């Protein structure tokens, strides 16, 4: 009888503890910025330029990077970004067939000579844009994605705002406009280029193409047409991966060049070059400078981190993992073997916890200085426990 009474007392005491509320602790992620901007490292005749490392967004060189200028066909970087975003979301597919409108056919400037009513796949149109810079192909894909070029341009401006492209405004999807209301900057071009190549690296499958034939099928029959790349750096610089050229009378000669070497991806943007040779040569100068002064530290964070305690949850342990790989770009010649990492967790994780919620960080330091953090996140959800869950837990512990 006494044994039963003691068990009942324990149950009562445990049930009373259910009313005790734990206090949430908030973890704030901090990231050390590696500022390495150099404005005098190289001499350029082009009025505006920037050099950026893609994985970290570190700016290595800049010259008038926020000067608003006409972008010409490097506008199409945003068109490609929205196209790949639509593919990712399943709104369109590479094999989808797109019918060329009379409006798309009417585009002047660089074109692949699509005819009204001509049908091409989404993938073929991507090639027409990335390789031959087809204005007609850009409008055709814009109409297919958004219903009209006007609506697509609205999407372009919305995306620019989301990416923090503060000095950009688009009026068309191909850059043909000479209106002063169509503008961007070298920095903003680098931002959208970075978003495209880091989020959708499959774009390189198209931007590396030097020449490729497509087939025009119209009422006049079938006719082959050769797409020839406007990116001459593909043949001049072996590390080139892309990305987009542009030229109009207003913009002069522009180029967003991408290259990859020793696992480092660089973006060099040239705006307003006086001639096409200068835009390619000065982009190469920037890329060579970037590869010469940079080294990239990468921690893939593949290791398992186990679990940590969680309170007020249906489970009392929470599996955790790093959110992703950590990248640190160095230009000082530092010894990466001296990089240290430590793990910091929230003092008290309280349910409910959603999958992906931040619960700590891996903190990286070099020479006693913090160089960055990688969030530690919940690998699975933990639901909040209710009275019945606590009661069941107590009964299982003391009566079973």
Supply the residues annotated as catalytic. 73, 76, 133
Q: Quick check: bond before 352 cis, omega within 30?
A: yes
β-bridge partners, 224: 215
DSSP for 288-342 reads HHHHHH-EEEEE---S---EEE-BSBSSSEEEEEESS-EEEEESS---GGG-EEE
Measured distance CA(186)–CA(269) in Å, rounded: 6
> 128: closest CA among 213, 58, 44?
213
Q: Give the N- to C-terminal CA distance of the chain in Å, as an integer.
A: 17
Measured distance CA(64)–CA(168) in Å, rounded: 15
Measured distance CA(104)–CA(125) in Å, rounded: 12
CB crowding 154-166: b at 16 or more within 10 Å, else e: ebbeebbeebebe
Total residue length of the chain: 400
């Amino acid at each position: 009888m006494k044994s039963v009474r003691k068990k009942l007392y324990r149950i009562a005491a445990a049930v009373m503890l259910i009313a005790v509320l734990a206090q949430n602790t908030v973890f704030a992620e901090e990231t050390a910025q590696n500022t390495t901007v150099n404005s005098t490292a190289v001499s350029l005749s082009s009025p505006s330029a920037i050099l950026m490392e893609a994985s970290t967004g570190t700016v290595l060189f800049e010259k008038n990077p926020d000067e608003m200028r006409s972008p010409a066909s490097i506008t199409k970087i945003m068109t490609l970004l929205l196209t790949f975003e639509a593919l990712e979301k399943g709104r369109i597919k590479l094999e989808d067939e797109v019918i060329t409108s009379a409006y798309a056919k009417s585009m002047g400037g660089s074109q692949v000579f699509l005819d009204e009513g001509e049908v091409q796949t989404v993938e073929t149109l991507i090639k027409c844009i990335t390789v031959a810079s087809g204005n007609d192909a850009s409008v055709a894909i814009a109409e297919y994605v958004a219903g009209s070029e006007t609506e697509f341009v609205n999407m372009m401006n919305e995306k620019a705002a989301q990416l923090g492209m503060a000095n950009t405004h688009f009026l068309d999807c191909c850059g043909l406009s000479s209106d002063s209301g169509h503008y961007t900057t070298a920095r903003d071009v680098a931002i959208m280029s970075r978003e495209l190549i880091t989020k959708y690296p499959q774009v390189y499958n198209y931007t590396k193409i030097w020449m490729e034939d497509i087939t025009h099928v119209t009422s006049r029959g079938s006719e082959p047409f050769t797409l020839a790349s406007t990116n001459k750096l593909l043949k001049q610089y072996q590390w080139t991966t892309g990305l987009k050229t542009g030229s109009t009378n207003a913009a002069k000669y522009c180029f967003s060049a991408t290259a990859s070497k020793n696992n480092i991806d660089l973006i060099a943007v040239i705006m307003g070059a006086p001639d096409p040779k200068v835009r390619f040569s000065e982009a190469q100068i920037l890329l060579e400078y970037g590869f010469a002064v940079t080294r990239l530290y990468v921690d893939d964070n593949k290791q398992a981190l186990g679990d940590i305690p969680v309170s007020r949850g249906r489970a009392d342990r929470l599996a955790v993992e790093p959110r992703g790989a950590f990248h640190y770009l160095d230009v000082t010649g530092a010894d990466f073997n001296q990089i240290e990492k430590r793990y910091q967790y929230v003092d008290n994780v309280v349910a409910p916890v959603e999958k992906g919620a931040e619960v700590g960080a891996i903190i990286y330091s070099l020479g006693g200085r913090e160089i960055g953090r990688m969030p530690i996140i919940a690998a699975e959800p933990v639901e909040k426990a209710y009275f019945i869950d606590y009661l069941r837990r107590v009964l299982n512990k003391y009566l079973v």
